Amino acid sequence: MNMQSFYHEATQLAETCNDLPNAARTVVLFRVALETGSQTLGIVGALHLVSKLITITLGIMCEDENSSFDDVLAEFEVDDETSH
């Protein structure tokens, strides 16, 4: 499975949980992301990755042409880095 496929599966799962408000789904997904990321990156590494994601997202919102998720994992050691 690549990152794009995983993204679509996670999105579909989140969309099926209509009994939870969007904010609650966000909290759950964020917790899962931190818990999963900290297993290999450590909590500091996982938080650094989250910080990069926030910065990139803000850049995309401001239409910064240099902001992209394409190389977000470049500085992290990942065994199965997949482009998305």
**Per-residue pLDDT tens digits for 35-73:** 999 999 999 999 999 999 999 999 999 999 999 988 888
pTM for the model: 0.76
pLDDT, tens digit, for every residue of 25-37?
999 999 999 999 9
Cβ neighbours for 28, distance < 8 A, ≥ 6 positions apart: 20
- List, in order, residues 6 or more apart from 40 with CB less than 8 Å away: none
pLDDT of 78 > 90? The answer is: no
Q: How confident is the model at residue 23 (pLDDT cuts 50, 70, 90)?
A: very high
The label of the residue with tokens 């899962």 reads 32
Ramachandran region, residue 82 (left: φ > 0; alpha: ψ -120 to 50; beta: rest): beta
pLDDT for 74:
86
